Amino acid sequence: MEERIDRLMSLDMGGRGVEPLYRAAREIVGAPLAMSAASRLSTLERGDVVLFTTGFLARAGVSPNIGENDGPAGAAVLARTLQKAFGVLPVVVTDDPLRPAIGAVLQTAGFNLVTLEEARRAMQIRRRTAVVVVLPFPDADEEALRAADPLLDELRPKVVVSVERAGRNVAGRYHDMRGYAFDEGQARTDLLVERAQARGVPLIAVGDGGNEIGMGLVMDAVREHVPYGRECQCPCGRGIAARSRADILVAAAVSNWGCYAVADCVAILMRSHDLLHTVRMEEQLIEAGIRVGLINSVEGAVDGGVDGLPAEVQLAVVQLLHTMAALAIDQR
């Protein structure tokens, strides 16, 4: 079943070229990717901080307020599963302009948006309170480097989970899938991730294009198989391949699907149907994304599609993942 879940999450319906990236990541990890990530996350305990970063500036050249709908929903579902299963505290770091939209998606997944102080109080009481903290991060290198270590000192995360978050290439530039750079206004969360890794905090990254945080693990595959992977269309000419290397890279056809697969694998490990992502929740997340203006990045429009695939496909994939995971739970 772990193999089938991986095959479904990496099924490249849109023909975007993720399959070579999946194969490269699978060869490095040496086991099904979603279950490998779930196994690493299953060691978490109550009160542990899981540092998430998500949010992709889908049209940065137009407005810093236009974010992509692939990423926030996946992060929200995975955070929900980890919070319910282990009692962790999810802290999401993103671009300041995207905080309201991402916060709304998290609320749809059942979270109360609170301050860090309030979240710590919630962790101290026995009665479950689903809380999440959403923080901004600087969009200039020097300021980001000054902010990274104090924030890590305060949070002391057990793991970092990056979901569909732009990572800089070897020349220090962020790129979209068409090979153009979009540095201005981009929160430097990859610098925060790198500082966390320097402290020994593991990175689980979910991506689908090669330009996201963590994809440096399969940089050669990105350069060989992804358009503009080796040579981009901006003056740096160094390609869109991100430089940061994940400890476990979940390469999926749609990043949301990668998160759903990991969440359902956690449910399998915990033998809990209650932890599974559902079609009803997916419908609500799609509706929330539309309400707050997150866009289908391929179409450039606010609609229920994700990465060019319509809402009906998103719901079908969630149902198939749910069915496979439920069967696996019943058979354990």
State mean pLDDT over 163-176: 96
How do residues 297-330 score in pLDDT, each as one tens digit?
A: 999 999 999 999 999 999 999 999 999 999 999 9
Across the chain, mean pLDDT equals 96
Give the pLDDT confidence score for residue 212 in this predicted structure: 97
Q: For residue range 259-272, what is the model confidence (pLDDT) as tens digits? A: 999 999 999 999 99
Q: Is 2-331 in CATH node 3.40.190.290?
A: no
Output the CA–CA distances (angstroms, integers) from residue 237 to 167, 181, 234, 241, in the order listed.
Answer: 16, 10, 6, 11
Asked if pLDDT for residue 219 goes beyond 90, the answer is yes
Q: Average pLDDT for residues 218-227, to the nearest whole number?
A: 96
Question: What's the pLDDT score for residue 130?
Answer: 97
Q: At what angle do helices 2-9 and 33-41 cross, to 10 degrees?
A: 110
Cα separation, 166 vs 54, in Å, equals 9
Q: Where are the beta strands (DSSP E) in the chain?
A: 49-54, 89-94, 112-113, 131-136, 159-163, 203-207, 248-251
The pLDDT tens digits of the residues spanning 41-60 come to: 999 999 999 999 999 998 88
pLDDT of residue 251: 98
Nearest to 80 by CA among 254, 277, 261, 249: 277
Whether the predicted pLDDT of 277 surpasses 90 = yes
Q: Could you read off the pLDDT of 109-150 as tens digits, one per residue?
A: 999 999 999 999 999 998 889 999 999 999 999 999 999 999
| Mean pLDDT of the 3-25 span | 95
Predicted pLDDT of residue 184: 86
The pLDDT assigned to 169 comes to: 97
pLDDT score of 93? 98
Span 11-16, average pLDDT: 90
pTM of the model: 0.97
- Smallest CA-to-CA distance from 179 within 221, 230, 255 is with 230
Neighbours of 184 (CB within 10 A): 12
Query: For position 58, what pLDDT does the model report?
Result: 83
